[in-house]
Amino acid sequence: MSESQHGALKLRVKSIEAVTPEINRYTFCPADDSWLPPFSGGSHLTVLIPSEEGTKRNAYSLMSSPYDTSQYQIAVRRVDDGKGGSLAMHNNVREGDVLLAGIPANLFPVSKHARHHVFIAGGVGITPVFAQVEELSLKGSPFELHLAVRGPDHAALGCELKERFGDQVTLYGHDGQSRLNTMEILAGRPLGTHAYICGPTRMIDDVVTSAHSLGWSDANIHFERFEDLGSTGDPFSVTLARSGAVIEVSPEQSLLEAVEEAGHKLPYLCRGGACGECETEVLELDGTIDHRDDWLSESDRATCKLIMPCVSRATCTKLVINA
């Protein structure tokens, strides 16, 4: 396996390809020419991106074949008013550079029991679907993909899939006219159909609402929010109980990022409030916690005894966490 350093993979940038005006596709190979850990469709890779304001840790869906251990591919959409990670990828990273990345983790796997898979994606949300349909295609599982893009300039990735999978792929918006209609896509599906949504929040909400109105249960609806929900807000300070360190969390960074910047470590996986890995006990609190995760239950939120440092913040005069 590719040489790891503190649990990170060393990846060499093999090629960079502009696939739309805003999206670059990066192909990585192991820096020591060995092999990379295999993954399952829907997995993401946390890439450590050097930037002027320190190291950014951005999670990107893997879009190469899960069965290819010689390379990884990700697509990065440039977000000009984001936290700087995607800009650094676009502006600073060059072919031949070596980047560190975590081991792939999957929070968006395909259902092993589904009889039919329906993917609904928007824009750069197509990236995890690349690996997911590759996996299903090799297993011979039936699937279809509905992809909405903003116009012909943004359709390159969709056209690649259309060429590979033919009628199983339907594009919308590439001609400037057609529109994706979630009710039409979901209506009258056979039992055991699973839907996967990867796109903007509006699209996810739209599909979930349509599916519910058609009597789908939540177990058959899967989604991943690729938009950086971020963790920006008012500054606050946090005390790490074990070391006694007091850390200031600035408006632009998350609690997790601030702790890491100060040289401390917290467990993490998705960095998006979904996986639960960074769940941390709150020992003292003088104020309120601004819970922004999808992990904690309503009752956990209400008691304010737990916090997810990767996305959640606090409005407080004192916060002590068990870390």
User: How far apart are the two ends of the chain, measured CA to CA in Å?
Assistant: 31
Residue 139 sits in the site that holds another protein (CB under 8 A): no
Residue type, 115: R
Q: How far apart are CA 31 and CA 190, in angstroms?
A: 46
**Shortest Cβ distance from residue 207 to another protein (Å)?**
13
Residue 190 sits in the site that holds another protein (CB under 8 A): yes
Helix (H) or strand (E) holding 205: helix 201-213
**Shortest Cβ distance from residue 116 to another protein (Å)?**
8
**Shortest Cβ distance from residue 212 to another protein (Å)?**
7
Q: Which is nearer to another protein, 94 or 113 (CB)?
A: 113
Instruction: Pick the piece of the chain touching another protein (CB under 8 A) from 70-78, 188-196, 252-260, 280-288.
Output: 188-196
**Shortest Cβ distance from residue 187 to another protein (Å)?**
8
Residue 163 sits in the site that holds another protein (CB under 8 A): no
Identified binder of another protein from the candidate list 20, 61, 64, 193, rule CB under 8 A: 193
Residue type, 247: I
**Shortest Cβ distance from residue 42 to another protein (Å)?**
19
Which residue has 């390159």 as its token pair? 156
Residue 212 sits in the site that holds another protein (CB under 8 A): yes
Residue 186 sits in the site that holds another protein (CB under 8 A): yes
Q: Are 228 and 83 a contacting pair, CB within 8 Å?
A: yes
Residue 217 sits in the site that holds another protein (CB under 8 A): yes
Q: Which is nearer to another protein, 215 or 263 (CB)?
A: 215
Q: Are 85 and 56 a contacting pair, CB within 8 Å?
A: yes
Gyration radius from the chain CA atoms = 20
Q: How far apart are CA 174 and CA 262, in angstroms?
A: 46
Q: Are 182 and 120 a contacting pair, CB within 8 Å?
A: yes
Q: How far apart are CA 31 and CA 26, in angstroms?
A: 14
- Residues contributing to the site for another protein (CB under 8 A): 113-115, 186, 188-194, 212, 214-220
